[in-house]
Chains A and B, each alone.
Chain A
């Protein structure tokens, strides 16, 4: 029996020790506090963000004195009034909201068939191919993708080179609204598919067959069976695309060339060009309010969709 005792593995000793420590700290075995304890690091980490929002809120209420270049001691709503009145800011806000809406609709329109084919195909190879085509740009990042579009669409870019070969004058395809929206759609596409996929997987194929055997055309099956059943995924995808494109910085900055600023670009400029932290912060608050409002409206109308994390309430 002695031999056995000395061969007691090190790992077991370590575990015994940990168990003992654990027991010391929580004699009752965890119980009520343990899940909250497990959540606390995440809550603290996100707390940094909340703290940051506090700073933004504070800064947004202080006006810049342009003669002394100091911020006022007292709080006032001057920055917000300015943000709502100034025509430039107004046009930037509308450009962002309109752009995000268009991008969301086109992205969903393209992402749905892509996801559907990917989920339904019998060919494992095709599925893998579509997945890799999807993940590659997703993992590459916005700057490099925008750079690719610059090479393709630029004045001396590939498309113009090809047009030149057949004798067409070079077109100006960059630094305008459509090029920004186009870049955003390509950027958002993988997000939309990844949100949609679980919802479409959950729909059994037999249901489509049943609809068709009852005489529904494929368009009717899509509209009346698949869309309603995939609603949660569509909402999740739509919300993610809407909020991300509304608040995007890189695509308007790179593909818009400074002429197609979205709200994020205007905020950046206030901080780093005009050095008016107060006004920049008030714009940031406005953007957060607009974004949260849109999300809240969708949540209230149709629920969180696939955005819900963890256990389902259903």
Chain B
């Protein structure tokens, strides 16, 4: 379509501002991690990888990273089956009290994170499991569950009920129908949802902050604690780990389902 010049100008000005705002922190952190000086300055003192080498020495950062990965794995392990089943059920069946169930399942989004975090902290504290890592994984699964349900249910709307009937007509029982017809047709949603859950859980800061103690800090909390003392470039090098994981996730997502899936209308 031919757009008038004024429209192009207006839109593109805002788009360029947005692109700069979106990318600036990432680019700067990348740049800062490569500095050869001891403080972060612009223009940089010179390039070096010495802050990455310094990471090898930092046992507590490595431990925090591994803990964060565990938390993310636990989160996906819990939310994948839970969210998939719920997403399919919500889409396939016209449920009695469907609206009520939907509102209920959206609670993790409508309740502020600080509220959910403190509530879960009190619950886990009551049971006496605070201080281990798995409650953090469970908590991140709870607070992000709607993302998983959502991803699955939006790809389940494309599921043709006739296909399932056809499978049953050919002699497939309910289990076979589920694994060979229903599940493959919502696979893009499951992949998207699991990746989202993994990344969000890996990056989860506030709920981690509330649920961990000094012995089991996760990486975002570790970075937060360090930011508040002194800012040194080794922190930038750690942050690049997050950036690298994010890039990897985007690449995988694009390869497997295509980023354009997020532009589709339901």
Seen from chain A, the residues whose Cβ lies within 8 Å of a Cβ on chain B are 15, 18-19, 22-23, 29-30, 34-36, 38-39, 41-43, 45-46, 48-56, 59, 109-111, 113-114, 116-120, 127-128, 130-137, 139-152, 154, 156-158, 161-162, 185-186, 189-190, 194, 197-199, 201-202, 205, 208-209, 217-219, 240, 243, 246-247, 249-250, 253-254, 263-264, 267-268, 271, 280-281, 284-285, 287-288, 291-292, 295, 306-313
Whether the pair B110, A291 counts as a contact (CB closer than 8 A) is yes
Q: How far is the CA of A114 from the CA of B223 in the complex (A)?
A: 31
Which of A55, A109, A128, A199 interacts with B122 by CB under 8 Å? A55
Whether the pair B250, A135 counts as a contact (CB closer than 8 A) is yes
Q: Shortest CB–CB separation between residue B52 and chain A, in angstroms? A: 16
B220 is an interface residue with CB less than 8 A from chain A? yes
Q: How far is the CA of A161 from the CA of B21 in the complex (A)?
A: 19
Q: How far is the CA of A250 from the CA of B210 in the complex (A)?
A: 12
From residue 217 to 251 of chain B, which have CB atoms closer than 8 A to chain A? 220, 223-224, 227, 231, 235-236, 239, 242-243, 245-247, 249-250
Across-interface contacts of A36 in B (CB, < 8 A): 89, 95
**If A151-B29, A218-B6 touch, does A287 touch B114 (CB 8 Å cutoff)?**
yes
Q: Mark B63-95, 1 if CB is under 8 A from A, else 0.
A: 000000000000000110111011111111111
With CB as the reference atom, state the residue of chain B lying closest to A312: B266
Which of A136, A190, A249 interacts with B114 by CB under 8 Å? A249
Interface pairs A-B: 10 shortest CB-CB: A52-B119, A148-B25, A141-B203, A247-B112, A310-B90, A139-B246, A202-B265, A42-B86, A19-B173, A38-B89
Which of A22, A59, A267 interacts with B173 by CB under 8 Å? A22
Q: How far is the CA of A145 from the CA of B203 in the complex (A)?
A: 11
Q: Shortest CB–CB separation between residue B117 and chain A, in angstroms? A: 9
**If A158-B42, A309-B105 touch, does A141 touch B205 (CB 8 Å cutoff)?**
yes
Whether the pair B14, A42 counts as a contact (CB closer than 8 A) is no
Across-interface contacts of A52 in B (CB, < 8 A): 116, 118-123
**If A39-B90, A139-B199, A208-B1 touch, does A46 touch B114 (CB 8 Å cutoff)?**
no
Across-interface contacts of B4 in A (CB, < 8 A): 217-218
Which of B118, B142, B220 interacts with A45 by CB under 8 Å? B142
Q: Mark B155-179, 1 if CB is under 8 A from A, else 0.
A: 0110000000000000001111001
Whether the pair B21, A186 counts as a contact (CB closer than 8 A) is yes
Whether the pair B231, A309 counts as a contact (CB closer than 8 A) is no
Across-interface contacts of B245 in A (CB, < 8 A): 139
B111 is an interface residue with CB less than 8 A from chain A? yes
Q: How far is the CA of A247 from the CA of B109 in the complex (A)?
A: 11
Across-interface contacts of B173 in A (CB, < 8 A): 15, 19, 22-23
Whether the pair A309, B176 counts as a contact (CB closer than 8 A) is no
Which of A56, A132, A307 interacts with B119 by CB under 8 Å? A56
B23 is an interface residue with CB less than 8 A from chain A? yes
Q: Shortest CB–CB separation between residue B171 and chain A, in angstroms? A: 10
Across-interface contacts of B108 in A (CB, < 8 A): 46, 49
Q: How far is the CA of A254 from the CA of B209 in the complex (A)?
A: 14
Across-interface contacts of B81 in A (CB, < 8 A): 41
**If A19-B174, A140-B242, A247-B114 touch, does A48 touch B138 (CB 8 Å cutoff)?**
yes
Chain B residues within 8 Å of chain A by Cβ, number = 114
Q: Shortest CB–CB separation between residue A235 and chain B, in angstroms? A: 14
Q: How far is the CA of A219 from the CA of B23 in the complex (A)?
A: 29
Across-interface contacts of A205 in B (CB, < 8 A): 1
Whether the pair B142, A48 counts as a contact (CB closer than 8 A) is yes
Across-interface contacts of B94 in A (CB, < 8 A): 311
Whether the pair B111, A149 counts as a contact (CB closer than 8 A) is no
Whether the pair B231, A135 counts as a contact (CB closer than 8 A) is no
Q: How far is the CA of A49 from the CA of B108 in the complex (A)?
A: 7
Whether the pair A48, B123 counts as a contact (CB closer than 8 A) is yes
Q: Shortest CB–CB separation between residue B1 and chain A, in angstroms? A: 6
- 13 A/B residue pairs, CB under 8 Å, sorted by A: A38-B86, A42-B105, A43-B105, A49-B107, A52-B116, A56-B115, A114-B18, A137-B22, A143-B205, A144-B239, A240-B109, A254-B224, A284-B118
Q: Shortest CB–CB separation between residue A7 and chain B, in angstroms? A: 19
Across-interface contacts of B91 in A (CB, < 8 A): 310-311
**If A19-B173, A136-B250, A143-B224 touch, does A288 touch B112 (CB 8 Å cutoff)?**
yes
Q: Shortest CB–CB separation between residue B20 and chain A, in angstroms? A: 10
Q: How far is the CA of A254 from the CA of B85 in the complex (A)?
A: 38
Whether the pair A39, B110 counts as a contact (CB closer than 8 A) is no
Which of A118, A127, A140, A267 interacts with B26 by CB under 8 Å? A140
